Amino acid sequence: MTRRKHKRAQPSLKAVWRVNIDDHPIGLAWSPDGKRLAIAGVSGPITLFDSADGAVQRVLRGHALDTMAISWHKDSRLLASVGQDGKARLWDAETGTQTSEMSGGASWVERVAFSPVGDWLVSAAGRKLRLWNSSGELIREYPDANSTITDIKWRYDGVQFAISAYNGVVLYDPAEPEPLRRFEWQGSTLTLEWSPDGKYIATGDQDSTVHFWIADTGKDLQMWGYETKVLELAWSFSSRYLATGGGTQVVIWDCSGAGPANTRPIMLEGHQHLIKHLKFQRQGMLLASGGNDGLLAIWKVKKKKTALLADAVFKAPIANLAWSPDDRCIAVSDESGTLSVAAIQ
Amino acid sequence: MNTAESRVPVTVLTGFLGSGKTTLLNRILTENHGKKIAVIENEFGEVGIDNDLVIGAEEEIFEMNNGCICCTVRGDLIRILGHLMKRRDKFDYIMIETTGMADPGPVAQTFYVDDDMQQKLHLDAIVTLVDAKHIWEHIDDSDEAKEQVAFADVILLNKIDLVAPGDLERLEARIKSMNSMAKIYRSRDAVVEMDKILNVGGFDLERALEIDPKFMEPEYPFEWSGIYQLNAGTYKWMMGDGPDPAMGAALLPLANMGLAAQEATLMDAVLTFSEDEQALVAGEMMRLGKGQYNQLVLNENGETVFNVAIEQPGYYQLFTEHHPDEFDACLRGADSVPDPLKTREYKPDHEHDEEVSSVGITIPGDLQLEKLNGWLSQLLREQGQDIFRMKGVLSVRGWDKRFVFQAVHMLFDGSPDRPWGAERRQNKMIFIGRNLDRDALENGFRECLAS
């Protein structure tokens, strides 16, 4: 692995607004139309901000015993949340009212994901996997997973979704009760990301590995040598680059040509502590990284020379990062409850 | 490595079903100790009790690195604790209850293997509840029971009201032979002061060494010796029935009563006991001198008499495999019963032929860090599965502070603590595990000294 030093760039992050929610932030999600920003606090409430000026629009009750995840419906009106009260809930962002309350199947409902296309919602509570529609009707309950489900991600076209758990990844077609395919790994898979073209499923694992599963064939490439477990994965929109954390350096794999096997990744230095979040722009080549050191760094990723474009230091570890749908702004939360929206210039 | 102070202490509570874990937990949750405690139990929903919190766990064991038991961790704990640490209402303590049959290893290892856990939490102590009455049903043949005792920092002998005092002594001795570093407390109805089990601070190595002074002594192949002043003539060594049908013995001349002479004879006795034994039956003459290892075979019933012929008057030291009291044995002259001038008891080789045992080593001097790292990593690679716990206070060359560490299987957590100051620099280490080879451990450790 090569290491590259980066000169400190001129700051080009301009704060648009900044608030503090006085809680440890859990989820952070822009509505697909970019008008709202939803953030959940660990103690339960979910706040909806006007993304233009940071005005509080609604405070949703959330979950009495800790909210754990949120997800927007494609229409930008419904927001799904799950929490430790064993429930999945649907909220109307316009009125702030709860439209549905569903039972997740176990006491901690940890994951929820609306389909980017269509009307499906998937929730996971422990080993329980349930498929709903946006009216809160249960479409299907799947047989229990092998182990607690750690992540759910939809393919770009909504035709498939994948879950991760101990033992790897399972692919589903929401129209079918049986899994399509299993990608097995004797280890605890913590998170997964589809490449935007649907060709790869990347996973981060407790045993400090990153896997590239080729979705069509089930072929597995394993990347070893990470400092710690890998929870941070981000694909560039072109599906060429996968940025990974699992340490203090951002490691970027190039999947063009013959793929990332036996290639040297791009390594980015700058974080003093573990990187906790990585997000690529939706349509651009800027990569945001956030770490336990409170550092937010914006990188412009290029094969020949990746440059640090901007950085900012928050007073607490970065809790979440989210690019606006138009890629012009990034929302950043830190563990002290700061929520900041900054424009890239 | 983090300073322990900034991390929330975690107590792991183990013990078989019926040992009193639930009673103890209820006591902790209801007692007015002014602390906020989160308890993670099996088969429980999330319940808030005043300040405290009880959370259910699913006991989900992850194997890491393709199935090595030393790296298995509890995935449910990583998730639950990770989430708990995000809450604004910080907890003073976290207690994790394991099921009766659980191996405490994966629970303890979770705090070493996962970076998020290590940053925010530290394993304070493993507390094992032992049902003083019923433990005998498990301790000989249950690996889980042995491991729960072996892993413990604190052992609570509970239900002592159901056990005779003699049995309790026997149990405590047995437990100490398996795990010499644990603090042992006795209780009924799981009544114990909270500061005995919470925030113990883990570091009880020096205390562990104080408890049993014999613990640090070398082990000997004999249990007893007696020094006699004998005249020329014939003596009889009389033995009654005993626990074994035979007993090893060596009779060696002692130059004088000085300590140097006694030390030399002791070494001769150790060498003698490593020789091939020579069986002796009733009426035969006990062989005298270095290298003469007698195996005294008893009659099936009643007294057995062996003859001893002394040519040179002087001091003699008799070494016996077992304590003579166990056989009502004594030495008799033609017309007298000579009392030994001095007797000594030795820590036996293996008190119960235990497969789980402790080995404590103390070596003065400074260690060379690279050698120590090399030795420990090789040791743990080869025997990591059998070494349950290690603790040490080490003197590392070039460091003015003591280095203290503890390990669970091959996972290691250590940091410098206070300066040595005027204290004598030395290295103390305890291993607890299965099939430990004391000599190999001691030699390996000694090799790490800075030359």
Asked if B58 and A126 come within 8 Å (Cβ–Cβ), the reply is: yes
For the segment B104-125, what is each residue's pLDDT rounded down to a tens digit?
888 888 888 888 888 889 888 8
Nearest CA in chain B to A335: B86
- Residues B168 and B231 grouped into a single domain: no
- Residues B392 and B336 grouped into a single domain: no
A187 touches chain B (CB under 8 A): yes
Q: What is the pLDDT of residue A271?
A: 96
Residue A154 has pLDDT above 70, yes or no: yes
Q: Which positions in chain B touch A65 (Cβ < 8 Å)?
A: 46
- Residues A13/A298, Cβ–Cβ less than 8 Å: yes
**Mean of the pLDDT values across residues A282-301?**
96
Using the CB atoms, write b or e for A310-343: b if 16+ within 10 Å: bbbebeebbbbbbbbbebebbbbbbbbbbbbbbe
Mutate: best of A22, A42, A230, partner B, most B CBs <10 A: A42
Other CB atoms within 10 A of residue B154 CB: 23
- Residues B318/B250, Cβ–Cβ less than 8 Å: yes
User: Where does residue B149 rank: exposed (0-12), middle (13-18), buried (19+ CB within 10 A)?
Assistant: buried
Asked if A186 and B83 come within 8 Å (Cβ–Cβ), the reply is: no
Phi-psi region of A301 (alpha: psi -120 to 50; beta: other; left: phi over 0): beta
Asked if B76 and A148 come within 8 Å (Cβ–Cβ), the reply is: yes
Q: Is there a domain that residue B96 lies in?
A: yes
> What ipTM goes with this model?
0.85
Q: Which amino acid is at A94?
A: E
- Residues B340 and B374 grouped into a single domain: no
The shortest CB-CB distance from B115 to any of A42, A187, A274 is to A274
- Residues B275 and B140 grouped into a single domain: no
Asked if B86 and A335 come within 8 Å (Cβ–Cβ), the reply is: yes
Q: What is the pLDDT of residue A121?
A: 98
Split at pLDDT 50, 70, 90, the class of B50 is low
Asked if B115 and A148 come within 8 Å (Cβ–Cβ), the reply is: no
* E strand or H helix at B389: strand B387-394
Q: Is there a domain that residue B87 lies in?
A: yes
Residue finishing a domain among B318, B345, B372:
B345
- Residues B23 and B154 grouped into a single domain: yes
Measure in Å the smallest separation between the Cα of A84 and chain B Cα atoms: 8
Residue B1 has pLDDT above 70, yes or no: no
A229 touches chain B (CB under 8 A): yes
Residue tagged 């791009």 (tokens): A266
- Residues B341 and B366 grouped into a single domain: no
- Residues B362 and B230 grouped into a single domain: no
The domain that holds B148 is classified in CATH as: 3.40.50.300
Asked if A166 and B60 come within 8 Å (Cβ–Cβ), the reply is: yes
- Residues A37/A342, Cβ–Cβ less than 8 Å: no
A107 touches chain B (CB under 8 A): yes
Phi-psi region of A212 (alpha: psi -120 to 50; beta: other; left: phi over 0): beta
Domain residues for B431? 356-447
**Distance between CA A51 and CA A16 in Å, rounded?**
9
The shortest CB-CB distance from B67 to any of A23, A68, A186 is to A186
For the segment B24-45, what is each residue's pLDDT rounded down to a tens digit?
888 888 887 788 888 888 755 5
Residue finishing a domain among B303, B321, B345:
B345
Question: What's the angle, vertex CA B50, arms to CA B47 and CA B51, rounded to 5?
Answer: 95
**For the ranges A117-121, A184-188, A191-195, B65-69, the one whose mean pLDDT is highest:** A191-195
Split at pLDDT 50, 70, 90, the class of B334 is confident
- Residues B410 and B266 grouped into a single domain: no
Q: Is there a domain that residue B115 lies in?
A: yes
Q: Which positions in chain A touch B78 (Cβ < 8 Å)?
A: 206
For the segment B417-430, what is each residue's pLDDT rounded down to a tens digit?
889 988 889 898 88
State the total domains in chain B. Answer: 3
Two tokens, residue A119? 């009307």
Residue B362 has pLDDT above 70, yes or no: yes
DSSP single-letter state for residue B449? B
For the segment A9-41, what is each residue's pLDDT rounded down to a tens digit?
455 789 999 999 999 999 999 999 999 999 999
- Residues A117/A158, Cβ–Cβ less than 8 Å: yes
A277 touches chain B (CB under 8 A): no
Can you name the CATH fold of A1-24+237-345? Methylamine Dehydrogenase; Chain H (2.130.10)
Higher pLDDT, B188 or B215: B188
Asked if A84 and B46 come within 8 Å (Cβ–Cβ), the reply is: yes
Q: What is the pLDDT of residue B214?
A: 45
Residue finishing a domain among B168, B202, B236:
B202
- Residues B253 and B149 grouped into a single domain: no
Q: What is the pLDDT of residue B360?
A: 84
Higher pLDDT, A151 or B16: A151
- Residues B18 and B86 grouped into a single domain: yes
For the segment B133-163, what is each residue's pLDDT rounded down to a tens digit?
888 777 777 888 888 898 898 999 999 999 8
Q: Which positions in chain A touch B83 (Cβ < 8 Å)?
A: 42, 66, 68, 84
DSSP assignments along B327-356, one per residue: GT-EEE-SS--PPPSEEEE--BS-SS--SE
The shortest CB-CB distance from B60 to any of A26, A65, A147 is to A147
The shortest CB-CB distance from A207 to any of B65, B87, B88 is to B65
Please, which residues 50-69 of chain B have a Cβ atom closer than 8 Å to chain A?
Answer: 56, 58, 60, 62-67
The shortest CB-CB distance from B62 to any of A65, A110, A206 is to A206
Percentage of chain B modeled with pLDDT above 70? 87
Q: What is the pLDDT of residue B286?
A: 94
